Amino acid sequence: MLRITIVESSREAVRLRVEGRVTGGWVEELRRACELHALCDEVRLTLDLADVSFVDSAGVELLKELRGRCRYSPEPLVVCGRTTQTCGVL
């Protein structure tokens, strides 16, 4: 099971909290949520993965794809985890 919650949503930034397992069909659900709530070239997308228990190879590929879309954007993809500090800017 995967739960995606919008924590912050503005014209400048979207923060999605992801909980559960990013596997199988849930990977596409996360992709749709990212595409629906954040266009990387217009807003900063932050994925809070603190409550994700597992990411399969398809989930890793999605994160790489999102990073690729945001690579030349002024607003990078931000991934964070269990601390309040940013774990990585992809």
**Confidence at residue 60, expressed as pLDDT on a 0 to 100 scale:** 93
Which of 1-10, 48-57, 63-72, 78-87 is predicted least confidently? 78-87
Residue 55: give the domain boundaries.
2-89
23, burial (CB in 10 Å: exposed 0-12, middle 13-18, buried 19+): middle
Cα separation, 73 vs 51, whole angstroms: 27
- Number of domains composing the chain: 1
**pLDDT by residue (tens digit) across 64-82?**
888 877 666 666 678 887 6
**Confidence at residue 80, expressed as pLDDT on a 0 to 100 scale:** 83
- Residue 29 belongs to domain with CATH number: 3.30.750.24
**Confidence at residue 48, expressed as pLDDT on a 0 to 100 scale:** 92
